[in-house]
Amino acid sequence: MISLRRTRAVAKKELLHIVRDPRSLYMALAIPMLLLILFGYALSLDVDRIPMLIYDQDKTPQSRALVARFGGSRYFEIRGHVESYRPIELALYRGDAMAGLVIPADFSERLLSGRQVPVQFLLDGGDSNTAGIALGYARAMVAAYSGNIRAEWQIRQGAGEIRPPVDAQLRVMFNSKLKSRNYIVPGLIAVILMIIAALLTSLTIAREWENGTMEELLSTPLRPAELVLGKLSAFFLLGLADMITAMLTGIWIFDVPMRGSGLLLFAGGCVFLFGGLCWGLFLSAVARNQLLAFQMGLVSSFLPAFLLSGFVYAIDSMPLAPRLLTYIVPARYFVSLSSGIFLKGVGLEILALELGFLFVYAGAVFFLVTRKLGAKIA
């Protein structure tokens, strides 16, 4: 039977440790806000305003109409017109431009005669992801321009207006404006909780070992579960404050839509936070050294939450080995839960598996840390 009195005494002791170290307290509260600001404003997965140069050798209304399509798009930003290939090559080398459009001198002549005319699109492939997306944009614009020219040519030939047999109607669900911020901010909550949970609590028991007070604690009538819950309580309150701050910041400052149940998101966050805190305590109990415990917490919690949770990199595009590894990363399930509630407005009927895994994870890690602390002192 767990004694609330003993648990409360450990919690009070741990809370006093936090209050007496204001620098750590400020960092614990400031890091989430700093991450939100940096990732919310600086990190963007949107590919737009791609800088490009134009080499128009034709300089006719037809060539200018093609250039106008690129200039009028939000995906490209024309930085200037050049008179040879060399300025484009230099701009690509320096990083001043990412793309260059080269229109041949006989562009309008071949176009008006109904012949095919090549247009060269030079692209910096250093960033393969952005280059691939930019290439798709350019192909779509040239295809649309070609379709208009073909239709006009057929009308001049007396064939009449020819409409495509299939008219695709595009509808983007859940994130209609395709803002990457709406995807990043919900997932960032998981990263923030892992920082608070694993990295901060990974030091607490290791500090007790280094100070020589852990033997005294284990020699008291304290049960392992009481020791764990008492030490978790103070950090749990700190994590709750960070979680609520992150949610409200995402809704009010970054204007991320909250379409689902905030109560379900809060409940899932509490379970995820509890599991992360237990994992940090487990690492601290295993390492018995603050530096080693911090490094183990960084490698086993923060990095997987950042790289393998689907927060930044799509899980489906990963190779097989890391994709299988994501199934044991609890942040993957909380990112899915958070994004589903924020953007899709789904409830427990869809997210029951994610929430269930978080409960299993929290229970398993709590069992591990209590067993570890219950073992005899070596």
Which residue is listed with tokens 């309008």?
Answer: 108
* Cα–Cα separations (whole angstroms), residue 75 to 98, 212, 327, 345: 12, 61, 35, 30
DSSP label of 316: G
Of 35-44, 138-147, 283-292, 332-341, give the range with the top mean pLDDT. Answer: 332-341
Q: Which residue has the higher pLDDT, 5 or 21?
A: 5
Q: Are 247 and 262 in contact (CB under 8 A)?
A: yes
| Per-residue pLDDT at 323 exceeds 80 | yes
Q: Determine the pLDDT at residue 162.
A: 59
Position 90 pLDDT exceeds 70: yes
Going by pLDDT thresholds of 50, 70 and 90, the confidence category of residue 158 is low
pLDDT at residue 265 above 90? yes
Q: Are 202 and 280 in contact (CB under 8 A)?
A: yes
Q: Is the pLDDT of residue 75 over 70?
A: yes
Using a cut of 0.95, tell me whether the model's pTM lies above it. Answer: no
pLDDT, greater one: 298 or 349: 349
Least-confidence region, from 27-41, 100-114, 202-216, 364-378 = 202-216
What is the overall mean pLDDT for the chain? 83
Sheet-wide strand order for 50-56: 76-81, 50-56, 99-103, 120-123
Q: Between 38 and 44, where is the model more confident?
A: 38
Distances (CA, A) of 71 to 92, 186, 302, 364: 19, 33, 42, 57
pLDDT in tens, 99-135: 999 999 998 888 877 778 889 999 988 877 788 888 8
Q: Say yes or no to pLDDT of 360 above 90.
A: yes
Over residues 77-100, the mean pLDDT reads 91
pLDDT for residue 364 is more than 90: yes
Please name the helix (run of DSSP H) or strand (run of DSSP E) that holds residue 100, with its range, or none: strand 99-103
> Which residues, listed in sequence order, are joined to residue 53 by a DSSP beta bridge?
80, 100
Quote the distance between the C-alpha of residue 20 and its chain's center. 34
Q: Does residue 280 have a pLDDT over 60?
A: yes
Where are the chain's structural domains? 4-44+179-374, 50-156
Confidence of residue 2 (pLDDT cuts 50, 70, 90): confident
Residue 183 contacts by C-beta under 8 Å, 6 or more apart in sequence?
Answer: 45, 175, 339, 343
Residue 353: C-alpha distances to residues 106, 283, 357, 362 (Å):
61, 27, 6, 14
> How many CB atoms lie under 10 A from the CB of residue 306?
18
Question: Cα 133 to chain center, whole Å?
Answer: 19
Q: Is the pLDDT of residue 354 over 50?
A: yes
314: pLDDT strictly greater than 60: yes
The pLDDT confidence band at residue 83, using thresholds 50, 70 and 90, is very high
How far from 159 is each of 12, 115, 154, CA to CA, in Å? 86, 17, 5
Cα–Cα dist 26/24, whole Å: 5
Beta partners for residue 81, in sequence order: 54
55 pLDDT exceeds 90?
A: yes
Residue 377: pLDDT band (50, 70, 90) is: very low
The answer on pLDDT for 284 being more than 70 is yes
Percent of the chain clearing pLDDT 70 (strictly above): 91
Listed ranges 163-167, 251-255, 354-358; the one with the highest mean pLDDT: 354-358
Instruction: Give me the CATH topology for the region 50-156.
Output: abc type-2 transporter like fold (3.40.1710)
Residues 6+ away with beta carbon under 8 Å from 58: 103, 104, 105, 106, 107, 108
Q: Show the 3-state SS of 193-208.
A: HHHHHHHHHCCHHHHH
Side-chain-side CA neighbours of 80 within 13 Å: the count stands at 9
Asked if residue 288 has pLDDT above 90, the reply is no
Q: Mean pLDDT check: name the lowest of 38-42, 192-196, 259-263, 291-295.
A: 38-42
Cα-based distances in Å from 15 to 72, 136, 342: 58, 55, 32
Write the pLDDT tens digit of every residue in 181-216: 788 888 888 888 887 777 777 777 777 777 767 667
